[in-house]
Chains A and B, each alone.
Chain A
Amino acid sequence: MAGRLVAAFLRRHSPTISVRADLELDSGDHRVMVLFGPSGSGKTTILRCLAGLDRPQEGFIRLNDDVWFDAAAGIDRPPQQRRLAYVSQDYGLFPHLTVAQNLQFGMDSSKRQAPGRVEALLRMVHLDGMASRLPFQLSGGERQRVALARALARDPQLILLDEPLTALDLPLRDPMRQELRQFLRSIDVPSIVVTHDRVDALTLGDRMAVLSGGYIRQVGLIHDVFSRPVDLAVAASVGVETVVAGDVVSRDGSLVTVRIDRAHVHVVEPAAVGQSVFVCIRAEDVILETSSRGDVSARNQLTGVVTAIQPDGGVVRVTVDCGFLLSALITRPACDELHLTAGSTITAVVKATAVHLIPRQMP
């Protein structure tokens, strides 16, 4: 069944702190939305308001034709009357009930008796034969699967997951992330996943909403938001490594040139000559080469001096001073091959299409 969530509400914690949400979410191709932002930005508050656990002061929440909340009309349906699944950060399994009893708890009384329903749900999350276990006898990943199966027991019209992977040990997170993605794609229910982790967001979501300072700054397809943040706050929260101020100095068709201190960068983006901008470059879009090759249009070749080399897991973060400080992310073998040390001269190559501009107000 197609589902459509429309919500616009405001919840005030105090006269100065409030969270504002403006969301639309449909079942279909882009049904998984990631609610992304640093801790304290209001992600969980939005989720709790949608679930009916917190009450906004203004606005409305509607699912299809059902009004779940409407401040003006005085409607506030309790969680029991909103057909949704809410999975908290630590999964909320009832410790004194077996896996089967946990699943049955979420079923309507008519379905509780239906034979095979529990087994079918357990099979769906690959937990056959675990029905009589107690939660403490399960691994972290198994607990999450039970929580997801239980969430489905009620045939929800909306799925809300609060930081679904943070409770897992690191080695378990990668496989569970993939599994969770497959799970969310296997059911045609609009879902909202709260996370502050970039990898989780990229893997799990179709669209994302970036929260900062209590309101949603940008909503869009995941890769669009990551590569084209609308403002500095979004750029900072999605982790764009290089953000520097510059001015548009010339324009040739769709290719504009931006001056940053002594350096010039070519960008394929609409901008007017004389405009002040922030130039955003993701570190993974930067290639390092020992010598500059012939001039290739639509590619920036920025020669500079390596100022810092910082190993980070299997990759290396290299900072190059090419008129401005540019961050690059390269593999360790690539780093060895380039014989990089602090002080070496290097050429950084960045495609003009990989550079993003954010308009900047003149000081």
Chain B
Amino acid sequence: MDWSAIVLSLRLAAATTLILLAVGLPLAGWLALSHRPGRWAVDALVALPLVLPPTVLGFYVLVALGPRSPIGHAYEALTGGTLVFSFQGLLVASVLYSLPFAVQPFAAAFAAVDRTLIETAWCLGASRVRTFIRIVVPLARPGIVAGAVLSFAHTVGEFGVVLMVGGNLPGTTRTVSISIYDDVQAFNYARAGRTAALLLAFSFVVLAITYRVQRRAGRAWPGVS
């Protein structure tokens, strides 16, 4: 089994999920709770990775992060390395690719929080930020867990974007799905099968645990619909 690919995929997925929690929670909060005009445009932008072919997304990320782009140029000046074909570049692409898988469950969970509780918190003097952190986020916990797990699992399994942005460098950008593809190309079906089976078992266990946790969370506070 290609252990270095498995470890790399788990690292990438964990880092992606953490970034998506940091970026996605405020973004989802804004989408679910504010009524600013132009929200629909942000909604559509966030959902874009759901419908775009991974190669298209990958292509644009590749161009945007390449050494001739402003972002790639600034990164090179700052760190001396390049973003494309590196773990960092892969991370940026993964975050964009998994954005809807995090933001949509987050936003749905926030929108389901009883509006009265939010207004009560405001009337008790709590700012919008404090209300969000102390009331909305805790009450939306099952949805946040679901979004995090989906992003994690989705990142572990991504293929097209990785191939476009990261290439196939062992230990740096060769993830599990690329490793399986390589094995199949090299007619090493036995090794591909073992890795595939591991990925299948992992995905099932993660989802099963999520659903179990969700069910229990639903019962934690009776009276919360």
B221 lies within 8 A of A95 (CB): yes
Q: Is A79 an interface residue (CB 8 A)?
A: yes
Cβ contact within 8 Å between A79 and B122:
yes
Complex Cα gap A86–B180 (Å)? 60
Interface of chain A residues 82 through 97 with chain B (CB within 8 A): 82, 84-86, 88, 90, 92, 94-96
Identify which of residues 18-76 in chain A touch chain B, using a CB-to-CB cut-off of 8 Å.
51-53
Asked if A88 contacts B116 (CB within 8 A), the reply is: yes
In the complex, are the beta carbons of B120 and A88 less than 8 A apart? yes
Contacting residues, chain A, for B221 (C-beta < 8 A)? 95-96, 134-136
| Contact in complex: A150, B123 (CB < 8 Å) | no
A135/B223 in contact, CB under 8 A = yes
Dominant secondary structure at the A interface: loop
Shortest beta-carbon distance, A80 to chain B, in Å?
5
CB distance from B142 to the nearest CB of A (A): 12
Out of B121, B139, B222, name the residue touching A105 (CB < 8 Å): B121
The smallest C-beta distance from A163 to any residue of chain B, in angstroms, reads 12
Q: Are A95 and B139 in contact (CB under 8 A)?
A: yes
Residues of B within 8 A of A85 (CB): 123
Q: Would A92 and B122 count as touching, CB distance under 8 A? A: no
Against A, the Cβ 8 Å flags (1 = close, 0 = not) of B139-153 are: 100000000000000
What is the minimal beta-carbon distance from B10 to any residue of chain A, in angstroms? 31
- Who on chain A is nearest to B124 by CB? A106
Q: Does B7 contact A (CB under 8 A)?
A: no
Contacting pair B124 A105 (CB below 8 A): yes
Task: Say yes or no for A78: interface residue by CB 8 A criterion.
Answer: yes
Query: Do A136 and B121 have beta carbons less than 8 Å apart?
Result: no
Cross-chain contact B135 with A94 (CB below 8 angstroms): yes
Choose one: A88, A96, A136; the contact of B119 (CB below 8 Å). Answer: A88
8 Å CB contacts to A: which residues of B114-143?
116-117, 119-127, 134-135, 138-139
A78–B122 Cα distance when bound, in Å, is: 8
In the bound complex, what is the Cα–Cα distance between A284 and B30 (angstroms)? 56
Assuming the A-B contacts A80-B125, A154-B124, are A95 and B119 also in contact, with contact meaning beta carbons closer than 8 angstroms in the complex?
no
A108 at the B interface (CB under 8 A): yes
Across the interface, which residues of A come within 8 angstroms of B139, CB to CB?
A: 95-96
Q: Chain A: how many interface residues by the 8 Å CB criterion?
A: 25
Give Cα A105–Cα B138 distance, bound, in whole angstroms. Answer: 14
Whether A150 contacts B124 in the complex (CB less than 8 A), given A88-B119, A96-B139, comes out as: yes
Closest to B127 in A: A80
Closest A residue by C-beta to B114: A92
Contacts of B135 in A (CB 8 A): 94
Q: Is the CB of B119 within 8 A of A53?
A: yes
A141 to B120, CA, bound (A): 19
| B123, A84: Cβ atoms closer than 8 Å | yes
A interface footprint on B93-127 (CB within 8 Å = 1, 0 otherwise): 00000000000000000000000110111111111
Answer yes or no: B51 CB below 8 A from chain A CBs.
no
A140 to chain B, nearest CB (A): 11
**Could you tell me if B222 and A92 are in contact, using CB atoms closer than 8 angstroms?**
no
Q: How far is it, in angstroms, between the C-alpha of A78 and the C-alpha of B127 when the chains are bound? A: 10
Whether B223 and A86, one on each chain, are in contact in the complex, defined by CB atoms closer than 8 angstroms, is no
Bound-state CA distance A88–B122 (Å) is 13
CA distance A90 to B116 in the complex (A): 9
Say whether B117 contacts A94, CB under 8 Å. Answer: yes
Q: Contact: A106 with B125, CB < 8 Å?
A: yes
> Residues 139-158 of chain A: 1 if any B CB is under 8 Å from the residue's CB, otherwise 0?
00000000000100110000
CB distance from A144 to the nearest CB of B (A): 14
Interface residues of A in 136-188 (CB under 8 A from B): 136, 150, 153-154
Residues of B within 8 A of A135 (CB): 221, 223
- Which residues of the other chain, B, contact A106 by a CB distance below 8 angstroms? 124-125
Question: CB within 8 Å of A: which of B192-225?
Answer: 220-224
A80: which B residues are within 8 A, CB to CB? 122-123, 125-127
Query: Please, how many angstroms separate the alpha-carbon atoms of A309 and B158 in the complex?
Result: 78
CA distance A134 to B134 in the complex (A): 16
8 tightest Cβ-Cβ pairs between the two chains A and B? A92-B120, A106-B124, A95-B221, A86-B123, A79-B122, A136-B222, A79-B123, A95-B224
Contacts A/B (CB < 8 Å), 17 sampled: A53-B123, A79-B122, A80-B123, A80-B126, A80-B127, A85-B123, A88-B120, A94-B117, A94-B135, A96-B221, A96-B224, A105-B121, A106-B124, A106-B125, A108-B125, A136-B221, A154-B124
